Chain A
Amino acid sequence: MRLASKGRPVYLGIDVGSVSTNLVLLDGEDSRSSLVWKKYLRTQGAPLAALKKGLSLIAEEGMWEIRGVGTTGSGRELAGAMLGADIVKNEITAHATAALHSDPTVSTIVEIGGQDSKLIVLRDGVVVDFAMNTVCAAGTGSFLDQQAARLGVPIENFGDLALSSSNPVRIAGRCTVFAETDMIHKQQLGMGIPDILAGLCAAMVRNFLNNLASGKELRPTVFFQGGVAANAGMKRAFELALNQPVHVPDHYDVMGAVGAALLAKEELEKSSGETRFFGLEQAVNCDVTNRTYECRRCPNNCEISEIWRDGAFLASWGSRCGQVGTQHGS
């Protein structure tokens, strides 16, 4: 970094997800790497804009010196290329790292995000098995969002309303399209919204366990993280289905970002090198553009997505043959 920074040393973790873009700062001198700052932003289809907004919030405080950067989430490559991240890691590893950091005895992690749901099984602090939703986004946060909006319930109140139900209705959980049909039928029979919401939570949990947990032993300690863990109705439905307590960690909504920051720290300690980070001021002020086009070189017609920073080519994705993108050189 060009500026003589005297800020507090921190590691930056970024999770660019489909629904939210999360940034966290972990204390770089504290051996426990405690979380000192976090931000949960809605991605709203524009990951680069969300990312820049988050970074400008960090820059405004003017008290942090970034030692290293890690990115994760479905937009991890994009964010990593834009910022010069020290490590770009998949969400499973990031979530497992963060959960183990907050409780080394964790054996089961349930993570439900915007378009993914994951189940991670650990033994003695090592990931031994995992499962992700198969081919569609059924049973994830986006669906809860959509249903809450349809029923006119703010998503923040969803959980408490579901908890107030005394008689949850039964709703088909196999597919969210079926679930919606079922919900509408029950609603038209005059059943109350809290009962429908509680029934929906139970159906989603059933769907999750049937799809991801079959044949797996879910031992305590069970963690529930990801944006959907904010929903107390979902937490209770998991507890009822698993017949054991489910823990929602303090920073459940940004666990992916915490994991990315921890992995960045680990990586830099291993290599004992300097961060490749582009710099906070520079990242906030740079002009990043995204260009998407259909390659016409062969009948595959791959959708190529390129990222440019201040007029210079950074990286591209989407090419199946691997020949497009490298043409720009470095």
Chain B
Amino acid sequence: MNCKIGIPRALYYFHFFPLWETFLAELGFEPVVSPPTNQDILQRGLSTCVESACLPLKAFVGHATFLVEQGLDLLFVPQVISVFRKEYTCPYLLGLPDLVRSYLPATVRLFSPVLDARRGKGQPTFSYLRFGLQFKPPLQAFKAWRRAKAVQDELEKAQQNTNSLPGGLNILLLGPRYLTDDAYLNGNLLRKLEELGTGVITAAAYPDAITWPAARFLAKPPYWTSTRRAVGALEQAINRIDGVLSIAPFGCGAHAMQGVLVGSRISGSKAAHLQIYLDEHTSPVGLVTRLEAFCDLLERKMSG
């Protein structure tokens, strides 16, 4: 069996790509990942997807339709309900496979294992294994999953490097991975921050084992994993950074809560906070103005 399977380079791909790509390859598929978001892909999503969806979700639909147009009739779109106990992903993502299916021809088949860590820490593992058993005998499926998990763990460990702050201006970048890691959607934010001479650290640098206890000071635990990770990472990093930059898709409900939590925590500290909302704008002028002004502010604050 050497069957091609498409993986859209969007949303939870940025969290789980080592696991997904390795696992599917080990199961005998040939994973085909769509190229990094570009104008053509985003435009497909914008013209297809429901108007009220957020930018990254529209981009996902663009990636999926792009893959289908390349002749792929199998797509890997897991239904990510929860990645951590007692927490959810956002409501749009809960129903992702159903939403995407409605925009694709009926001949396209989606593989959508359900990942729901609320039902138990081991649930995602079982779900992956059950998926693998459709194609391989039990021992081989288990070995495939174990190899994939090892690759995933290795990458996550490599990202958990909090010593990478170079001095000068240090910024904690908070926002969903599918924005911080997608250079097209975020308007090349990371390169601009680098040009402005800042050191950047993201919430990915802190594992759940650190952010979960760190966020426990909140009166009520947040529903959303991304919010808890952001608040926890801020709590850990707050004394080592000069500013916090939050990026979010325009109209994101989960972020509305996070912005308030981050803002209130920052207001008592020496750091400053800037929120940036991303949407379909094709001109980077607005983004650049905000980033430059933010860096000016941090510099003047430091020197005076």
Tell whether A pairs with B: yes
Which residue in chain A gives the minimum CB-CB distance to B267?
A215
Which residue in chain A gives the minimum CB-CB distance to B260?
A215
Tell me the interface secondary structure of chain A in the complex.
Answer: loop
What is the number of residues of chain A that contact chain B, defined by CB distance less than 8 Å?
25
Known contacts A298-B38, A303-B282: A134-B293 contact under CB 8 Å? no
The reply on B104 being an interface residue by CB < 8 A is no
Q: By the criterion CB–CB under 8 Å, are B188 and A320 in contact? A: yes
Q: By the criterion CB–CB under 8 Å, are A93 and B272 in contact? A: no
**Other A-B pairs beyond A132-B290, A134-B277, A135-B250, 4, CB < 8 Å:** A92-B296, A130-B294, A215-B267, A302-B39
The reply on A189 being an interface residue by CB < 8 A is no
Q: By the criterion CB–CB under 8 Å, are A301 and B289 in contact? A: no
The reply on B28 being an interface residue by CB < 8 A is no
Q: Which of B39, B281, B283, B286 is in CB contact (< 8 Å) with A299?
A: B39
Q: By the criterion CB–CB under 8 Å, are B281 and A93 in contact? A: no
Which residue in chain A gives the minimum CB-CB distance to B188?
A320
Q: By the criterion CB–CB under 8 Å, are A126 and B289 in contact? A: no
Q: By the criterion CB–CB under 8 Å, are A128 and B272 in contact? A: yes
A91 to chain B, nearest CB (A): 6
Q: Which of A90, A135, A318 is in CB contact (< 8 Å) with B293?
A: A90
Known contacts A135-B250, A303-B282: A92-B293 contact under CB 8 Å? yes
Q: By the criterion CB–CB under 8 Å, are A90 and B250 in contact? A: no
- CB-CB under 8 A from B292, the residues of chain A are 89-90, 93
Q: Which of A132, A215, A299, A303 is in CB contact (< 8 Å) with B264?
A: A215
Which of A93, A128, A299 gathers most chain B CB within 10 Å?
A: A299
Known contacts A92-B289, A129-B272, A215-B264: A134-B250 contact under CB 8 Å? yes
Known contacts A74-B289, A135-B277: A215-B296 contact under CB 8 Å? no
B277-299: CB near A (< 8 Å → 1, else 0) gives 10101110110111011101100
The reply on B41 being an interface residue by CB < 8 A is yes
Q: By the criterion CB–CB under 8 Å, are B289 and A128 in contact? A: no
B204 to chain A, nearest CB (A): 23
The reply on A181 being an interface residue by CB < 8 A is no
The reply on B18 being an interface residue by CB < 8 A is no
B47 to chain A, nearest CB (A): 15
Q: Which of A130, A303, A322 is in CB contact (< 8 Å) with B297?
A: A130
- CB-CB under 8 A from B289, the residues of chain A are 74, 90-92, 132
- CB proximity to B under 8 Å, residues A47-83: 74
Which residue in chain A gives the minimum CB-CB distance to B183?
A320
Known contacts A92-B293, A215-B263: A300-B272 contact under CB 8 Å? no
Which 3 interchain pairs have the tightest Cβ spacing? A92-B293, A299-B38, A299-B40
What are 13 A-B pairs at a CB distance below 8 A? A89-B296, A91-B293, A92-B293, A92-B296, A125-B304, A126-B304, A128-B272, A129-B297, A134-B250, A135-B279, A135-B281, A301-B39, A322-B191
Complex CA–CA separation, A301 to B35 (angstroms)? 15
